[in-house]
Structure 1
Amino acid sequence: MKIAFIIPKLINEAPVIVVRDLINQINDKVVSIDIYYFDDVDVKEINVANNCYKISFLEGIDFDNYDIIHSHMLRPDLYILFNRHKIKKAKCVSTLHNDIFKVLKDSHNIFVAFIVEKLWIKALNSFDSVVVLSESMKSQYIKSITKVPLSVVFNGRDFPNSFESEIEDADVKSINLLKSQYKLIGVSARIRKIKGFSQLIKVLPFLNEYALIFVGDGDEKQTLIELAKELNVLDRCLFLGYRIDGFRYLKFFDFYAMTSYSEGFPLGLLEAAQNKLPVFCSDLPVFRELFDESEVSYYHLNDIESLKYSILKLENNKEEFSKNLWTTVMNKYSLKKMGKNYLDLYKKLIY
């Protein structure tokens, strides 16, 4: 089996991390894997051993040299739509990583979200198979992606035993200074409005024994800093900025926060679980589908009193929560299982 993956760029973001992890899982089980991407980055953040080729949107590839062409995200999916008439033999697969409308509304505006969602759905309906990340996503899109079978494949994540780079001394010093005075609630993610991190700032005045660490950058960062100043809690917030392999910092956290307004599949939660951290979550259907109330502590979105209660509940039962969550993640959401599910899908399409 020969496979081509098409991605926007080799950047350290969730969909590309999933592609890298998937390739690492199936590399020795197929004949060959090639990776195509559109944009260069200043620093190559994702390393793979396979051949990587930069292409332009208007440049074709030898599509039928492959058995499977697997694209991820908007431009690669549109690229397949644009070239669909040239693809005779290869089977085309797309993985939909998030709620299209909500993510585009967060990053752009409601008008852009409406128009682009229509175009993206049209592209997805031209594929041979579309993968979504949960049953809740499937129930959402089954009414609009009508010409293509929808499959559910859960993401997986394995926590590495060692890291290529050490954490900078300045970061360690700043974190340990805060940790010596407070219990640390941490996140490792892009700082965007859709992640709901403002809720963490708003609850902090009611939790005097806690502090926050943000590993990541994004357009919402300055807004959070201003909010922390307004609520007089900036001294208990540490904004480290973007760090490659942000999961290296999990060992410093006491709790992990998932406060999203929308989420495709919570890779950060899997990383936290494998680091045996207790986690509290917003009450999203996707989280409810994946984890029960013995594994994470839930709260109602935008309800600061509910958020406070969920954190205190987690504090009082953190060993039990972290143990239950770790067990579930290791048994249900491993990379090995994700790799097998995708291979089974590929084989079903071509044999």
Structure 2
Amino acid sequence: MKVVNINAGQETGGALTHLIFMAQVLKEHNIDNVLLVFEEGTISKAARELGLAYKVINQKNTSEWINYLNENNFDLVQTHGPRANFLVTLHRKNIHVPHIVTVHSDPRYDFLGGGIKGNIQSKLNVWSLKHSDGLFVVSSELKDELTKLGINSNRIVQINNAMTFSNDVRPKENHQFMQMIIVARLHPVKEHARLIKALSEVKNDHIFLNIVGDGELRESLEQLVDQYELNHQVEFYGALKSSEINELYRKMDLALIVSKSEGFPLVFLEAANNAVPVLMTELSATHLVIPDEEHGIAVDNSLEGIKSGIEKAYSFGIEQLSEMGLKNRKYAIDHFGPESFYKQMKNGYDLFSKKENL
């Protein structure tokens, strides 16, 4: 089996983590895989550092990258991200290899807040998905949403996100008051503003919110914190390296995932790896990652739901949240490790590499 995974090349956060993890898992199982990117950036840098096969071809050199796909005996072309999805689909007639797309989130919300340009980009991405040979999705609910867009369910395979977990949990730093963390780009779909408003309505000076990530909403969110007089409770860290985020998790009691829409959040896995429980609104993967009340806090996807979830977490106390975090970690290790991920990927590859299944 020989696969080429294509991406624009400048991913950060969960997308970067997923692509590199996937490449490592495929390499460990002797799947011949190349990361093809359209520009030097985070993906090529990480691939070099880890000894992963990669190639950089400028997207404007259309004939060069199309020839590369056709002349290297690939069994599958797999794309990640709207730009790669669109470019491969646009030139599909000239590419003689089956094309599959990995879909991490509801495409209707990927360009939320982007105005007319965002609306056009969203429609082009959905068009790309409809014209691919197959789709990998990260939750059953996301599969349902794509079928509503007119995509045949037989062309959709669910593959849960996963990660390689550390052998041990580093000891937590002692702290007196409840510390919450949200790790997400500052984008409308992540609902930071609603979270800040919910915290303001909780009216508890002993609950602190740590916001990790950057984006176009940074200034407006800082103004919102000022408006609600929460400067003593909310801290913005900007974008951090993975090592810095893991260090921050050592003093966290609760991770927050409160998006408008989400596929299978890698933030859940990162929190679980650090034995931090998750408060998560009703999203496509909520019941998959929080099977019951012992493993996390699932709440209604609303302002009131988030508010009540924070209050519930506070009522548990730091010690009970710590116990919940350990259960969360064990559950994640049992269900979302690299071996499970590889088996799902291999089954999907075998299915879509057979022309009679396309």
TM-score by length of 2: 0.84
**1:347 counterpart residue number:** 350
Displacement, 1:142? 1.2
**1:195 counterpart residue number:** 190
> Cα distance 1:314–1:78, how it changes in 2: closer, same or farther (>3 A)?
farther
Cα root mean square deviation, aligned: 2.6
Match of 2:123 among 118, 123, 133: 118
CA deviation profile, 1:190-244 (whole Å, cap 9, x unmatched): 2222212223322434121111212221122222211111122112222121112
**1:302 counterpart residue number:** 303
**2:283 counterpart residue number:** 284
Displacement, 1:115? 3.3
**2:246 counterpart residue number:** 247
Distance 2:43 2:85 in 1: 25
Displacement, 1:261? 1.3
Distance 1:223 1:44 in 2: 33
**1:130 counterpart residue number:** 135
Task: State whether residues 136 and 289 of structure 1, in contact with CA within 8 Å, keep that contact through their aligned partners in structure 2.
Answer: no
Between 236-245 and 303-312, the greater mean CA deviation after superposition: 303-312
**1:230 counterpart residue number:** 227
Distance 2:77 2:42 in 1: 27
> Cα distance 1:45–1:259, how it changes in 2: closer, same or farther (>3 A)?
farther
Distance 1:313 1:151 in 2: 40
Task: State whether residues 5 and 36 of structure 2, in contact with CA within 8 Å, keep that contact through their aligned partners in structure 1.
Answer: yes
Match of 1:142 among 119, 144, 147: 147
Q: In structure 2, what residue type is equivalent to 1:12? A: T
Q: Secondary structure at the match of 2:3?
A: strand
Displacement, 1:99? 1.0
Distance 1:260 1:315 in 2: 25
Q: Percent of counterpart pairs with the same letter?
A: 20
TM-score by length of 1: 0.86
CA deviation profile, 1:296-339 (whole Å, cap 9, x unmatched): 11223211542333333553742443233222211111122112
Between 188-197 and 271-280, the greater mean CA deviation after superposition: 188-197
How many residues align? The count is 334
> Cα distance 1:118–1:191, how it changes in 2: closer, same or farther (>3 A)?
closer
**1:96 counterpart residue number:** 103
> Cα distance 1:285–1:341, how it changes in 2: closer, same or farther (>3 A)?
closer
> Cα distance 1:335–1:207, how it changes in 2: closer, same or farther (>3 A)?
farther
Task: State whether residues 106 and 262 of structure 2, in contact with CA within 8 Å, keep that contact through their aligned partners in structure 1.
Answer: yes
**1:327 counterpart residue number:** 330
CA deviation profile, 1:223-276 (whole Å, cap 9, x unmatched): 221111112211222212111213342112122111111112111111111211
Displacement, 1:84? 1.3
Structure 2: gaps of 5 or more residues: none
Distance 1:324 1:187 in 2: 20
Distance 2:259 2:145 in 1: 18
Task: State whether residues 72 and 95 of structure 1, in contact with CA within 8 Å, keep that contact through their aligned partners in structure 2.
Answer: yes
> Cα distance 1:241–1:123, how it changes in 2: closer, same or farther (>3 A)?
same
Distance 1:121 1:323 in 2: 39
Q: Secondary structure at the match of 1:235?
A: coil
Distance 2:19 2:42 in 1: 20
Distance 1:320 1:149 in 2: 41
Task: State whether residues 10 and 46 of structure 1, in contact with CA within 8 Å, keep that contact through their aligned partners in structure 2.
Answer: no
CA deviation profile, 1:96-135 (whole Å, cap 9, x unmatched): 11111112123x13x4454333322322233221111110
Distance 2:43 2:83 in 1: 21
Displacement, 1:43? 9.7
Q: In structure 2, what residue type is equivalent to 1:16? A: L
Q: Secondary structure at the match of 2:109?
A: helix
**1:19 counterpart residue number:** 19
Distance 2:153 2:94 in 1: 19
**1:208 counterpart residue number:** 205
